[in-house]
Structures are given as C-alpha cells and as structure tokens.
Amino acid sequence: MFPAAHLLLRQATEDNVLLVPKPVGEEGTITVPIAKGTTFIVDMVGAQYNPRYFDEPEKFKPSRWHGLPHLSYHRHHAVLPPRGTYWVPSDVLLRVPSRYPLAGGGGAI
C-alpha cells in the first residue's frame, strides 16, 4: 500500500502562503510563506498515512473514495495530467546515471 511516486516535487509559480495545521492537540494553523520559485517536496506516504486526513490509514479501504465526484469513472470526459507530467520519469531515468556515477563491480558505470 505504497504509492508508486512517494514524493512530489513542485515549484511555486507565484508568492503564496501555506497554512499548515498545528500538531495534534493544538488548535489553529501555522502560516508558512512560499516565495515564487521555491521548490518544495510533498511527502505522499506521510500525507496518506496521516490519521488526521484518513480514518484507519493503515487499512486498505477503497470505499473511502466512493462518492467523490472527481473520481467517478462514469463521466464522459478524461482528466488529463498537467503538461509535462509524462516526461518526468523518463527524464529522471536518463539524467540520474549521467549525474551520479553508479558503483558496479568494475567501477563507475
């Protein structure tokens, strides 16, 4: 029960403010300013296993998604991913070996 992509990298396209909930037991939110151009990481596993957002997150419960209109497969349209989504995995596969030498039996590959 782990997502295929466990981290999302995003870059802010404008100045914004992120409202982060305070720790469990404390009321309110913490305001975090995000400047344009800031790159940040979203931890998908941490978010999906947070009981604040999902009741019994360790259990496989597909029914938790029933009734959400944006997840309906009975619609007559497709929701396309943002432009550039498909090049990311291939870009990573091509760039990682060129930037980071991989140690093999005979040295760098």
Backbone phi and psi for residue 107, each to the nearest 5 degrees, phi listed first: 115, -155
Give the type of residue at 53. Y
pLDDT of the residue at 37: 92
The domains of the chain are located at 1-59
More confident residue, 53 or 31: 31
The token pair that represents 9 in the structure block: 């990298």
**Residue written as tokens 């990573």?**
92
SS3 15: coil
Looking at the DSSP assignment, which residues form a beta bridge with residue 10? 40
Which range among 5-9, 55-59, 67-71 shows the weakest confidence by mean pLDDT?
A: 67-71
Confidence (pTM): 0.44
